[in-house]
Amino acid sequence: MNINLIFLLLLLTVNWISPGDVQAKKPLKISIGKGEAHIGYLDGRIRVLPKGTQAWQALNLKDTLRGGDEVTVERKSRLELILPDQSRLRFADDTRFTILQAGDGNTQDVKVHLAVGRTWANVSKSVGIKRKFEISCDNAIAGVRGTIYRMNVDKDASALVRVYDGEIAVSGSTKPLVAPKAIGPPTKIAGPRKIAGPTKVTMEEWTVIIRSMQQISIGPDGAASKPREFTEHEDRDEWVDWNKARDMER
């Protein structure tokens, strides 16, 4: 056989089964440990202050986050976390948050505190009655069981919560986690009394159920507005479109 023809056949064979093609067909396997949040998407500069340390470091795609870690998503950056129960949490640029609890996908609660910025949550339908999924800010806590919603927190501590699917309970209680007090002797409680008309309520005095395509605003003083419906037109922006596209990929 002609030497040039043999060389041509070998070249075609190499190109046909190149390492890049073989590698591209391998499925991506993600193993998430108990109490860990895996990085599902990272773009730009993200910094993390691991629990128990004093030095901020760059967050990389292969890293994991755990309870107590503080994270800063810098300008023109984005981050997506995948939790053990396959819930997704995404954070926009100029956002700071702390993971209080990352859960174990079965019994432990998921709790994240948003200091400032924007987050989007796609909560797994497997979240049950025995555990909670909560995103809090300085003036409110949004607790859910299987839903899609987002929270925006401004620098003055005011917040906006919008629900896209399911429902959430938003309350003004933001006290840190403490051990429950010992149960004392029975005490007499007050009888029925007349309820005042609708007014703005202060922090820790309210709990509101927000359903699909509804929103609530919380002021810097912790006072909550009356829930109202919002439209896709007023809600739509590049951040919302990106999150909806990511949700469709699940």
Displacement of CA 106 from its chain's centroid (Å): 17
Range in 13-22, 45-54, 113-122, 125-134 with the lowest mean pLDDT: 13-22
Q: Report the C-alpha gap between 246 and 42 in whole angstroms.
A: 13
Find the radius of gyration of the CA atoms of the chain: 24
Q: 3-state class of 26 per DSSP?
A: coil
Residue with tokens 């040039």: 4
144 confidence band (pLDDT: 50, 70, 90)? confident
CATH topology of domain 31-175+202-248: Jelly Rolls (2.60.120)
Write out pLDDT tens, residues 57-102. Answer: 999 999 999 999 999 999 999 999 999 888 999 999 999 999 999 8
Q: Please, what is the average pLDDT of the chain?
A: 79
Compute CA distances 55 → 49, 65, 71, 72, 77, whole Å.
6, 15, 12, 13, 21
Domain boundaries, the chain: 31-175+202-248
Q: Buried b / exposed e across 43-65, counting CB within 10 Å, b at 16+? A: eeebebbbeeeeeeeebeeebbb
Q: How far out from the chain centre does Cα 169 lie? A: 16
Task: For 123-196, list the strands marked E by DSSP.
Answer: 133-136, 141-144, 148-153, 159-165, 167-171
Question: Residue 131's pLDDT is what?
Answer: 72
pLDDT of residue 120 exceeding 70: yes
| 215 in Cβ contact with 230 (< 8 Å) | yes
Cα separation values, 127 from 81, 101, 131, Å: 17, 15, 7
Q: What pLDDT is recorded for position 187?
A: 38
**pTM of the predicted model as reported, rounded to 2 decimal places:** 0.75
Task: Give yes or no for a contact between 77 and 44, defined as CB atoms under 8 angstroms apart.
Answer: yes
